[in-house]
Structure 1
């Protein structure tokens, strides 16, 4: 069986890219580390069983599968050790997400975006052109655009992208050094008996299901400062300051305290997938990001223009 290493998309490659950005979609590439008999079409059919032969025949005929030098590959082209092949990821059907992002800031290094709920950050699973990265690449024509941090698909708010390869690492290091000031807001049930502000700490580890986290006994590795902003009946609005950046940290912390964020389909219990139901967005918003620019030293601050949806009174 052929072994291979698959890399992501154009912005992650440092070498020559033989296929252009197309409608915001960057080409993917695949390293081949072992000879494979039967030709390129047979290899692609075996590697991408869910795509199907007719689709690969059409892509090969269009010239959408090439080698590292840009040579168009044919169905009978040999599959050799050391090859790198380039191709476009395609989806036959993709449900449009009826919410649009807002550009908050752009300079020669960064693009700061106000992300809507339900839009995934990068192509994954059943999302390609509806991912925020592909939308922005098509809209701004920035082939090297890539997020320097992430938000969950379900979370809205401020997120930062880099489009300058020379300075990307400098800005990414801010998150590694935790020199970024991040503020979130969330709607959840009240927490009676609490004095605000307070800090919640726990040890977070991977859950039994790959897409969720859980807490266990042991030294804390996650920390969130919680403030109460207001309360309306059975719902409260919180300001959350994550001092660490664990996956789903705010969602798990709020659920563990007995106040799961409204409309959270993962915590405290993972519910069946809602598919393309956009009627109940998670009430979690990345309200603001602030930092001292590592290139100029100037303070930077960006705030979301979005609001959370208070439930209608009974």
Structure 2
């Protein structure tokens, strides 16, 4: 389709397929459909272009240049939705804010180089060009990044500081969940307890790998699940108290970019309820982004974790 119609990028064709705007013989076409001579293909451009627009709230931009935009994703916003979804997404925000840039991507999810769970807040990088998307994605795949999180957990870890080195794979009884399993993929999370009130603790964590639900699975494995985590803990009122606080990654045009997202209001309030006012104030502070010429992994995010 994209070869036959110059105005349709591959990414746009994929989105149209997801919306049912392309049919073969009167039936909605699938991405895997095989076309035979004589098949009647219809492209319903109006159906695609005139579908009800998604109302996308403005997101907090932490850093932006010609190659990347870094946002502070709020909890409750998904990175991308499925076919027919009308909830606000990060991808919809990107397309709405940068329509001309988004049209240059031959992918279904323009700009995306990594993901955060719906109910996890914090730092997320989006690429503004296909070249930048490839470069930053490779850095994440090569683990040439520093990823730090803050979490409030139910309970206090037995060790105040440790490395959780446990493989993660699909849960044997529930394919929507992940679990620590011998046949899983290598996964490592470092943590340090910053403070606690005897019942809950504030942890600083560093991800060395990027498995699905990694922090949540690892913390549940040591019996201190993230507060309000309904999947790996006991649930509760509100969202899971996990925040992508700090990220260092290679900039597509050289050097390394360090970005930080302050602790959101709900987590800061929870930390204060624990009697940890100094920690709440420290992590609520706004730290300006910094781009350095260093070629090695550099982390100025936390002296202790």
TM-score under structure 2 normalisation? 0.69
The answer as to 2:262 corresponding to 1:305 is: yes
The answer as to 2:165 corresponding to 1:201 is: yes
Question: What RMSD, in angstroms, separates the aligned Cα atoms of the two structures?
Answer: 3.6
User: Counterparts of 2:201 and 2:129 in 1: how far apart (Å)?
Assistant: 41
Matches within 5 A, 1:1-314: 18=7, 28-30=15-17, 40=24, 42-44=26-28, 79-80=39-40, 85=43, 88=48, 101-124=59-82, 127-128=85-86, 130-141=88-99, 142-143=101-102, 144=105, 145-196=110-161, 198-207=162-171, 208-217=173-182, 221-268=186-233, 280-296=238-254, 298-307=255-264, 308-311=267-270, 312=273
CA contact (8 A) 1:100 1:116 kept: no
SS of residue paired to 1:250: helix
Does the C-alpha gap of structure 1 residues 281 and 268 become closer, same or farther in structure 2, counting only changes over 3 Å?
closer
Does the C-alpha gap of structure 1 residues 119 and 192 become closer, same or farther in structure 2, counting only changes over 3 Å?
closer
Larger Rg: 1
Note the residue ranges of structure 2 that are not aligned, 5 or more in a row.
31-37, 275-305
Query: Residues 90-139 of structure 1: CA distance to partner in whole angstroms, max 9, x if unpaired?
Result: 87798x78x75211111111111110001000122663450111022212
CA contact (8 A) 1:199 1:226 kept: yes
User: Counterparts of 1:215 and 1:161 in 2: how far apart (Å)?
Assistant: 30
User: Counterparts of 1:148 and 1:133 in 2: how far apart (Å)?
Assistant: 11
Query: Residues 47-74 of structure 1: CA distance to partner in whole angstroms, max 9, x if unpaired?
Result: 7xxxxxxxxxxxxxxxxxxxxxxxxxxx
Q: Which has the higher helix share?
A: 2
Q: CA deviation at 1:19?
A: 5.5
CA contact (8 A) 2:139 2:250 kept: no
CA contact (8 A) 1:120 1:132 kept: yes
Note the residue ranges of structure 1 that are not aligned, 5 or more in a row.
1-6, 8-12, 32-38, 48-77
CA contact (8 A) 2:68 2:132 kept: no
CA contact (8 A) 1:187 1:310 kept: no
User: Counterparts of 2:175 and 2:221 in 1: how far apart (Å)?
Assistant: 19
User: Counterparts of 2:83 and 2:177 in 1: how far apart (Å)?
Assistant: 17
User: Counterparts of 1:251 and 1:173 in 2: how far apart (Å)?
Assistant: 24
